[in-house]
Amino acid sequence: MSRSYDPRMHAYDDQSRHAGILYVLMLVVAVAFGGFVWQLYSGPEAPRIPAPAGPYKIQPEAGAADTPDRTEQGAFNDMLEGRARTEQVTPRPGPETVAAETETPAPAVGAASLGATPRFVSNGPYVAQLAALQSEAAVDVAWRRLASRAPQLFANARMDVERADLGQRGVYHRVRAGYFADRENAALFCDRIRQMGQDCIVAAR
């Protein structure tokens, strides 16, 4: 009995062949991918850098030098602090220092020695002007006050008063000490008076 042709069987055979080919392809891809992964992980390892011998962390020794930034900043701060301390510690000149400078004898003008005593004469051409007062009554007061401060200096001095009419400025009485034979002795007397804090001018009669 002859076998009849069935189209459905032919279609089924074609599908079976296609499925087999697809399966083979998938198997080849899987094998290839597995080989790639195996080559990737089984290759040579990356070189390792050995750790240096000794402890991992070392504590800095006491008194070690600071970093440059900290050192420069510290030096700058020390400079500012030193400057502030210098300004605070520097003493101001006290009254004793000023007094000592005031009492230091000034060099005599036209005199051989500051310690020398000026020589008075009974009638000389030079006098030492001590003050110029408008009140005639104040003349004697001013003379006695100065003479009491330096009795030895005024021991042989004579008071000389010159009346000066200055016009609109008024009349003044010039209190002068005399007399001196030369300008040098008059200048020496004025130097001693200036040491007392009093003005003095050498004048001719």
Domain ranges of the chain: 118-204
Structure-token pair, residue 68: 């440059």
Position 26 confidence tier, pLDDT thresholds 50, 70, 90: confident
Note the pLDDT tens digit of each residue in 126-149: 999 999 999 999 999 999 999 999
Tokens of 190: 């004025």
Structure confidence at residue 32 (pLDDT): 80
Distances (CA, A) of 166 to 34, 41, 124, 163: 132, 124, 26, 10
For 104-166, the DSSP string reads SPPPPSS-S-TTSPPPP-SS-SEEEEEEEES-SHHHHHHHHHHHHH-TTTTTT-EEEEEEEE-
CATH 3.40.1030.10 fits 118-204, yes or no: no
User: Can you give the pLDDT at residue 60?
Assistant: 57
CA–CA distance, 111 with 165 (Å, rounded to integer) = 33
